[in-house]
Amino acid sequence: MAPWVIAITGASGAIYAFKTIRALLAAGEKVCLIISEPGARVLREELGWSLKGGVEEFALEIKEKLGCPEEDDSLLCFDCNDIGCCLASGSFLTKGMLIVPCSMATLAGIAAGTSRNLIERAADVTIKERRPLVLVPRETPLNSIHLKNMLALAEIGVHIVPPMPAFYFGPRSIDDLVDYFVSRVLNLVGVKIDPSI
């Protein structure tokens, strides 16, 4: 089964990333995870994760946080600087890519096609192979540069999905708001989940 590529970058909203990965795994999907250095910092600051060492240590800690056995291959972690790995090639089949949260620097790099790291390169591959790409930008207020970059990507079919809370369903907690948003993101790419996951 082809995996989903999930990237975590240095924007606030690490809880969205955690719950997106958890929901995908609970739905029986496979995940290839890339975390930028600023993304790791956000995970440390917002969720209290240590994420010390290399990719192997990251993978073990993340699997522990998600309750996955060490030997479980449904979640694989990749080095953000390894632009020669399988995720950098269009011949490696994936279902698509979600960047949750997506920093404005990453969004700008994707819009410009710079491929400075594995996240930008994997996004470029996703676009050229016409697979679904979802960006969850977390910045406010938005300036005209942010908006132009988002428009450029939206015009080629990239889904731009800012994590804007909805209140019409009667949320009672922050978890309710996050879970509902994650369900909307995943439903957008055809992964149907229970919003209460």
106 is in an annotated binding site: yes
90 is in an annotated binding site: no
Would you say residue 197 lies in a domain? no
Residue 43: its pLDDT value, please? 95
Q: Are 118 and 79 in contact, with CB atoms under 8 Å apart?
A: yes
The pLDDT of residue 97 is above 60: yes
Residue 55: its pLDDT value, please? 86
For the chain, what percent of residues have pLDDT higher than 90? 88
No. of helices (H) and no. of strands (E), the chain: 7, 6
Element at 125 (helix H, strand E): helix 118-128
Segment 47-72 shows an average pLDDT of 89
104 is in an annotated binding site: yes
Would you say residue 196 lies in a domain? no
Would you say residue 58 lies in a domain? yes
Expressed as residue numbers, the domain containing 126 is 4-188
36 is in an annotated binding site: yes
The pLDDT of residue 189 is above 80: yes
- What's this model's pTM, rounded to 2 decimal places? 0.96
- First-last CA distance in the chain: 22
Q: Which two tokens stand for residue 112?
A: 């410009």
For the chain, what percent of residues have pLDDT higher than 70? 98
Q: Which two tokens stand for residue 190?
A: 């055809």
Domain count, the chain: 1
> Which parts of the chain are beta strand (E)?
4-8, 31-35, 75-78, 96-102, 133-137, 159-160
The CATH number that applies at residue 124 is: 3.40.50.1950
Would you say residue 29 lies in a domain? yes
11 is in an annotated binding site: yes
Would you say residue 22 lies in a domain? yes
Would you say residue 42 lies in a domain? yes
Would you say residue 194 lies in a domain? no
Q: Which two tokens stand for residue 129?
A: 């192979």
Would you say residue 195 lies in a domain? no
Per-residue pLDDT tens digits for 105-159: 999 999 999 999 999 999 999 999 999 999 999 999 999 999 999 999 999 999 9
144 is in an annotated binding site: no
138 is in an annotated binding site: yes
Residue 51: its pLDDT value, please? 87
- Beta carbons within 8 Å of 75's beta carbon, 6+ residues apart: 21, 25, 30, 31, 33, 59, 62, 63, 66, 68
Residue 174: its pLDDT value, please? 96
